[in-house]
Amino acid sequence: MQEPDDTEIADLLTGLRFKAPALEDLWAPERTSRRATPSRVAIVLAVAAVLLVSAGAVAATTGWFNVLQPNGECSKGDPTCGSDYTQASIAVNHVSNVTMVDVLVKKGLSQARLGQIAAEVAKKNADHRVIVYLLDDLPPGPMDAGFAGTPADDSAPALAPPASLTPYWVLTYDLGTSGVRETHP
């Protein structure tokens, strides 16, 4: 008795192909709300950031990643209003509580660069969940040297985070060295 030939069924299976979504679409906002876990945004934030950086793309993506774009508009009470800097926030979700990471970035900073910073935070918190978003209402506080692109030090004035979100870190993006400095208040 002759063994059945798999050629035809295998050929048919080879033809059964599905259109894969774009990488960034996997975590589009409407999809992240479906399974609203910060990690879904977080780790892939790093992936997307690396992708963007690898591709040399600057602000060239669409969708949820736009949330990373620093807010260039002034709002009432915004201490950064009129300066070249604005603030992005990174929430690090430790198992039971959320830690805020504030990153001071230059307005108009490319998404890729901000993504790099976020990726670095993600690397440092590999076991945690990281999500990046912008603070709409910055708390009042000094915006002096130490933040405005100069190297940070222990005495650098820190923006006061919302009390409910302590403890926190402040990361200052150092334009001079293209590094990220971390201070613990």
- List of residues contacting other proteins (CB under 8 A): 2, 4-6, 8-10, 12-21, 23, 25-27, 31, 34-35, 39-40, 43-44, 46-47, 50-51, 53-54, 116-117, 119-120, 124, 126, 152-154, 171, 177-184
| Residue 106 or 181 having the CB closest to other proteins | 181
Interaxial angle between packed helices 111-124 and 38-55, expressed in degrees from 0 to 180 and rounded to the nearest 10? 130
What is the closest distance, in whole angstroms, from the C-beta atom of residue 76 to other proteins in the complex? 33
What is the closest distance, in whole angstroms, from the C-beta atom of residue 160 to other proteins in the complex? 18
What is the closest distance, in whole angstroms, from the C-beta atom of residue 73 to other proteins in the complex? 26
Q: How is 39-88 classified by DSSP, letter by letter?
A: HHHHHHHHHHHHHHHHHT-SS---GGGGGGS---S--TT-TTTTSSEEEE
| Residue 17 or 76 having the CB closest to other proteins | 17
Kindly report whether the peptide bond that precedes residue 79 is cis, defined as omega within 30 degrees of 0.
no
| Residue 37 or 75 having the CB closest to other proteins | 37
What is the closest distance, in whole angstroms, from the C-beta atom of residue 84 to other proteins in the complex? 20
**Please, are residues 150 and 83 in contact by the beta-carbon 8 Å criterion?**
no
H or E element at residue 32: helix 29-32
